[in-house]
């Protein structure tokens, strides 16, 4: 094959997916197929289909608006294509989901939808289209990000609301329990540590949490974690691995400067919860293992409790 034939073949293979016949097959005058296959298309194909069917940019399909589908790609250029197309088709406000789907309930707005899907680029692009971004409910979006462990969205919201507000929101989310629709208490700290972080408390550090943040009449992060363990002690003490997890949690908070005897704002010390956990253990060797660990960590606890003295600078001596 000569030079021109090789180049011609290369161009034809590059261009063939974009010819009108193929694009019509992809869209088939049916937005559902287009939306469901959006992730398999590139920017050029998406633009071409939107040219062929401009109304697709403002269509709903199976409970989601076109912008919901576009935002899941987390490509702000594609989101902009859909946003501009939707506005031309008469969109005047951001759409919400109309159906529970893929773990996201109905009536979820675009910003919260992006937070739930950890789509930071889509989130930022949509913000730029708002006429009143300062009036958005960033606290709710923050909670969506925390619930879905959306580590790309969390630092963005923290910058918007500021450190003080973000610490309060995180504390309220993790330490305070909420009732679900059935009236049962939901322990978000337990759900996050167990299901999202696979029992690794160090992942909480990604959220830039001030673990010493506290509110009057409430537990702190350490006592809330110990209380969580105590309420589900059998989940952690069926085997040696579970007991190692308890030790891991205790060690984590000692590394953060906590001690066993300083009470939280409810007047309860970590030691009280630890003693309850030990008393609730039904296996003798488990009690001994945990008691031994606590004994070994007493020095660390005491060191954290004692006030730190600043070193005194030695006076300069003339030579």
**Rounded CA separation 103/289 (Å):** 40
* CA distance to 70, 129, 146, 222, 302, per residue, from 201 (Å): 34, 37, 14, 11, 22
Strand boundaries in 19-163, DSSP class E: 60-61, 64-65
Residues 6+ apart with CB under 8 A from 18: 44, 45, 48
pLDDT tens for each residue of 15-53: 555 555 666 666 666 788 889 888 888 898 899 889 989
- DSSP assignment of 231-275 equals HTHHHHSSSHHHHHHHHHHHHHHHHTT--SS---TTS--HHHHHH
Higher pLDDT, 55 or 8: 55
**Rounded CA separation 212/203 (Å):** 17
The answer to whether residues 99 and 33 belong to one domain is yes
Residue 10 exposure: Cα atoms within 13 Å on the Cβ side: 7
pLDDT tens for each residue of 1-18: 776 776 777 766 665 555
Domain containing residue 29: 21-133
pLDDT number for residue 310: 61
Say if residues 46 and 78 touch (Cβ distance below 8 Å). yes
Res 140 pLDDT > 90: yes
pLDDT tens for each residue of 77-100: 999 999 999 999 999 999 999 999
pLDDT tens for each residue of 273-315: 999 999 888 766 778 889 999 999 999 999 998 887 665 555 5
Residue 148 lies in a domain: no
The answer to whether residues 34 and 116 belong to one domain is yes
Residue 313 lies in a domain: no
Residue 56 lies in a domain: yes
pLDDT number for residue 22: 62
Residue 173 lies in a domain: no
Say if residues 146 and 199 touch (Cβ distance below 8 Å). no
Res 244 pLDDT > 70: yes
Written as six digits, the tokens of 58 are 């403002």
The answer to whether residues 197 and 120 belong to one domain is no
The answer to whether residues 198 and 120 belong to one domain is no
pLDDT number for residue 274: 95
Res 115 pLDDT > 60: yes
Res 166 pLDDT > 90: yes
What secondary structure letter does DSSP report for 203? G
- If you compute the radius of gyration of the chain from its CA atoms, what whole number of angstroms results? 27
Q: How far is CA 7 from the centre of its chain?
A: 48
Burial grade of 50 (CB within 10 A; 0-12, 13-18, 19 or more): buried
Residues 6+ apart with CB under 8 A from 306: none
Average pLDDT, the chain: 87
Whose CA is closest to 39, among 79, 70, 15, 81? 70
Residue 45 lies in a domain: yes
Residue 168 lies in a domain: no
Residue 105 pLDDT grade (very low, low, confident, very high; cuts 50, 70, 90)? very high
The answer to whether residues 197 and 125 belong to one domain is no
pLDDT number for residue 193: 86
The answer to whether residues 110 and 197 belong to one domain is no
Residue 174 lies in a domain: no
pLDDT number for residue 40: 83
pLDDT number for residue 153: 96
Q: State how many domains the chain has.
A: 2
Say if residues 169 and 143 touch (Cβ distance below 8 Å). yes
Q: For residues 72-104, b (16+ Cβ closer than 10 Å) or e, as one string? A: bbbbbebbbbbbebbeeeebeebbbbeeeeeeb
pLDDT tens for each residue of 185-211: 678 888 888 888 878 888 888 899 999
Residue 92 lies in a domain: yes
Written as six digits, the tokens of 6 are 């090789």
Chosen domain end from 92, 116, 133: 133
pLDDT number for residue 234: 75
* CA distance to 84, 213, 261, 282, 317, per residue, from 274 (Å): 58, 21, 11, 15, 52
């Amino acid at each position: 094959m000569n030079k021109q034939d090789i180049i011609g073949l290369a161009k034809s293979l590059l261009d063939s997916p974009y010819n009108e016949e193929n694009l019509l097959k992809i869209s088939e005058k049916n937005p559902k197929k287009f939306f469901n296959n959006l992730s398999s298309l590139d920017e050029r194909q998406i633009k071409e289909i939107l040219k062929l069917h401009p109304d697709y940019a403002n269509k709903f399909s199976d409970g989601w608006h076109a912008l919901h589908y576009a935002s899941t790609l987390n490509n702000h250029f594609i989101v902009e294509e859909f946003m501009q197309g939707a506005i031309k088709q008469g969109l005047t406000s951001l759409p919400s989901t109309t159906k529970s789907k893929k773990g996201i309930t109905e009536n979820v707005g675009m910003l919260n939808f992006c937070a739930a899907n950890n789509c930071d680029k889509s989130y930022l692009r949509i913000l730029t289209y708002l006429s009143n971004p300062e009036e958005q409910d960033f606290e709710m979006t923050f909670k969506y990000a925390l619930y879905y462990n959306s580590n790309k969205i969390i630092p963005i919201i923290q910058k918007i609301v500021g450190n003080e507000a973000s610490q309060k929101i995180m504390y309220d989310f993790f330490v305070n329990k909420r009732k679900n629709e059935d009236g049962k208490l939901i322990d978000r700290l337990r759900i996050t540590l167990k299901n999202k972080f696979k029992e690794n408390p160090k992942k909480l550090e990604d959220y830039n949490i001030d673990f010493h943040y506290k509110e009057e009449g409430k537990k702190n992060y350490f006592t809330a974690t110990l209380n969580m363990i105590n309420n589900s002690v059998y989940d952690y003490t069926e085997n040696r691995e579970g007991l190692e997890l308890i030790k891991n949690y205790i060690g984590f908070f000692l590394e953060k400067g906590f001690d066993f005897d300083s009470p939280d704002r409810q007047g309860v010390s970590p030691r009280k919860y630890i003693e309850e956990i030990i008393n609730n253990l039904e296996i003798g060797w488990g009690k001994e293992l945990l008691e031994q660990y606590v004994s070994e960590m007493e020095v660390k606890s005491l060191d954290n409790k004692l006030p730190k003295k600043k070193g005194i600078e030695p006076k300069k001596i003339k030579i």
